[in-house]
Amino acid sequence: MAAPRTVPDSTRIVVIGGGVGGASVAHHLAELGETEVVLLERAELTSGSTFHSAGLVGQLRADPTLTRMNMYSVELYRRLEREGHPIGWNESGSIKLASSAERMEEIRRQISWARTYDLPLHEISPTEAQDLFPLLDLDGVVGAAHLASDGSLDPSQLCYALANLARARGVRIVERTRVIGIDTRAGRVHRVRTDRGDIECEIAVDCGGMFAAEIARMVGVCVPIVPMSHQYVVTEAFLPRDAAPLPSLRDPDLLVYFRQEVDGLVMGGYERTPAPFALGPDGRDAIPPDFNGRLLPDDWSRMEEIGHNAARRVPIMGTVGVRTMINGPEAFTPDNEFCLGETEVAGFFVAAGFCAHGIAGAGGIGRVMAEWIVAGEPSFDVWHMDINRFGRQYRSPHHTLARTVETYSTYYDIPYPGQQRASGRRLRLSPAYPWHAQHGAVFGEKAGWERVDWYESNADPTLEHLRPPGWAGRHWSSAIVVEHRATREAAALFDESSFAKLEVSGPDAATFLDAVCDNAVARGVGDVTYTQALNRRGGIEADFTVTRTGDDTFLIVTGTAFGSHDTAWLRKQARRRDARVRIADVTGQLACLALWGPRTRDLLAPLTPADLGNGAFPFMTSQEITVGSIPVRALRVTFVGELGWELYPSAEYGAALWQTLWDAGRTVGLVAGGYRAIETLRLEKGYRVWGSDLTAETNPYEAGLGFCVKLDKAGGFEGQDGLRTVKRDGPTRRLRALVLDDPHQVVLGSEPVRIDGATVGRVTSGGPGYTLDASIAYAYLPIDRAAPGTRIEIDLFGTWVGGVVAKEPLFDPGSTRVLA
């Protein structure tokens, strides 16, 4: 006998998953006025990972957006408790311990970040930490930080509170209803099929927790998450009932965390030997269909190291009884970031991969997702959480598993700049990779590509005095200086084959690109245009060059890590406009070798019959030429502020082109260089980087890119109205170059900037400039405090370092070298 129908025939939005994520999304959708919402839960509300979560709510993260999302969560949780929706919110504060000098450096860096968010994170002494958490043993403790506004709550109560609020605003919640299929029509969600009937809808939101990947496969979408066993114990009661509440406590050096649970403690951690849960023989998640409201068997062997460390830091853990162990699966992602946003299937959204910190982020997740669904874009910059950030390699369950296991096992490690992952390497290789390896290349990995950071064979021991102090000098080589100076003084050859390359073609290609770019890109064949693609507010969603290669064909070149994101964004825009275009990722089809420096023309001219003079081959143009025996598309562009070209051969010619250029370069002192030198060169010239200097929350006028904006462009463009408002009212801030007084002190990013004792911004990017012998930083400053010559200070690991706002560009302001 068929189960009775319990679902409506149709609605606008279906939210799949009744955990804290789905409940938060439904609640925030209802707050924005969306009442045609149905939330489906396969079992009962909270029966996924929500019911076994430890309930910790910490706000400060290394990422600005996630910090702000968590801060919003705390505001929401306070409000829920205050307005009579009990969630067990306990604002007891948190302590982070440093059991090593290196960890204390990290804590001081985090304290400096907190200033930019007005978070009251303070350094405290070991004794002060013990005063707040009297159970502590201070052996080995170097210092600590305290944040009074952190707390904990009951995750199940939170979920029910959000669900009840959503229901009160018209959201229909249907439990014990399983999704068995999702139908699409013309590439868009059309129907959600359940075991209680089908629901026609416009939008489906996958909040399925560890089942999210399985749900996404119903529409052919890959959500790269792995269910990981995460354990903690709850002790017997031993705390005095009249004692002040204990703050939560983390000792990442010992891999453990604690929080009070009534009259006892919760203790958990992140072990070095993690255990994935329910994987099939192909490495893909294969969760039993009846795994609802269930836990995994206790695994005391994996708790051995954590248990020993816990008793070392809180000695009573060695004698107090354990009431229960909680071992439950949590969905982790390969980079420890959430999976949020609309997928390549129109109307199919994902909010999953909460990595055991979903309770802290739940409020912010719900807000961001609701904005995304209703307005078409979130108010926060969440590209690094966007489901579309993952490249095609993450369709492999083996790659996803290897990277996720490594991420879990290093959860509490200090994230030193330049530190590389070990798993999933040697996937995407340039044609010249063997040459690089044979010549001493030190590789970094980005988006699966092995990229040259520098060649240790270029190192010069006499330049070792330029090594930056502290963290900035950990993954550094004097070779970076050698490669930088060679680019300025002679010529350098860089392998940029990892740059993402997108081909846009079709009868509407020109009008489509002009409609989604702020600059005029539908120019003559061979013209190269630097442009931004904007959201409706005028924020920068992408930053790239567009080369017109034919009447109906364009080549977009964007950053290595941004190819998947930019492709998805462009395809979404094409769907919205019903544009007759084909958008293809051709990254692997083309190598890219960049040849830059004042002697570049001397090197290249004998190798080609093409005229490389300014008249015949102007800056920001492209031609098809031959170099030696090799056909290439040559773009006269630069990201280092020097004369030069980017050469794009078909991939099979890449190794031969590299060798041809290398052999010819001996006559001009050619040096092979890596990405770390490029970074120091672009800082001197003031070229912006998307993802740090430029984001979805910054606009071209405040970023100093107003020259790209063509407000009078025929037909208009995405974000035009937003930019008109900015131009009419004037920007409130500007991205400015800052030069530190001490050229050896190097920023790493996100440090607070203050003027006259008041914090006014944070560093977006920075580093050394070896031509200028300067330490450079960039930051958005209030428009009335951004004049060149203004004195500033930057907090480096707890020490304020002086500097000055400088006039841009710092290097070659007339661009005579670029146009040489």
Catalytic (active-site) positions: 230, 257, 543
Please state, in angstroms and rounded to a whole number, the distance separating the CA atoms of residues 792 and 800.
10
What tokens were used for 703? 């970023």
Strand partners, 775: 768
Cα 462 to chain centroid distance, Å, stands at: 37
How does 323-348 read in b/e, with b if 16+ C-beta sit within 10 Å? eebbbbbbbbbbbbbbbbbbbbbbbb
Q: Where are the beta strands (DSSP E) in 99-150?
A: 121-124, 143-147
Rg over alpha carbons for the chain, rounded to the nearest Å, is 27
298-312: burial string, b at 16+ Cβ within 10 Å, e else? eeeebbebbbebbbb
Give DSSP secondary structure letters for 477-534. Answer: -THHHHHHHHHHHS-EEEE-TTSEEEEEESTTHHHHHHHHBSS-----TTBEEEEEEE
The residues facing 527 across adjacent strands are: 621
Q: Residue 161 and residue 57: Cα distance in Å, rounded? A: 17
DSSP code at position 298: P
Are 94 and 258 contacting, i.e. CB atoms less than 8 angstroms apart? no
In single-letter form, the type of residue at position 238 comes to F
Residue 123 main-chain phi, psi, to 5 deg: -75, 135
The C-alpha atoms of residue 594 and residue 58 are separated, in whole angstroms, by: 44
Distance CA(247)–CA(113), nearest Å, equals 21
Q: Of 774, 706, 772, nearest to 735 (Cα)?
A: 706
**The tokens of 669 are what?**
């002192």
CA distance 444 to 672: 16
Q: Within 13 Å, how many C-alpha atoms sit on residue 88's CB side?
A: 17
Contacts of 438 (CB under 8 A, 6+ apart): none
Residue that has been written with the tokens 């900037």 in this structure: 753
Number of H-type helices and E-type strands within the chain: 17, 38
Q: Are 745 and 472 in contact (CB under 8 A)?
A: no
Cα–Cα distance, 317 to 712 (Å, whole number):
69
Is 816 buried (19+), middle (13-18) or exposed (0-12) by CB count in 10 A? exposed
CA distance 771 to 714: 43
Question: How far is it, in rounded angstroms, from Cα 514 to Cα 548?
Answer: 12
Residue-wise burial string across 141-177, b where 16 or more C-beta atoms lie within 10 A, e elsewhere: bbbbbbbebbbbbbbbbbbbbbbbbbbebebbbbeeb
Could you tell me where the beta strands, DSSP code E, fall in 675-745?
733-740
Residue 340 corresponds to which amino acid?
A: L
- Nearest Cα to 796, choosing from 741, 757, 751? 751
Dihedral angle computed from the Cα positions of residues 72, 74, 76 and 77, in that order, rounded to the nearest 10 degrees: 160
Q: Report the C-alpha gap between 733 and 88 in whole angstroms.
A: 41
Helix (H, G, I), strand (E, B) or coil at 182: strand
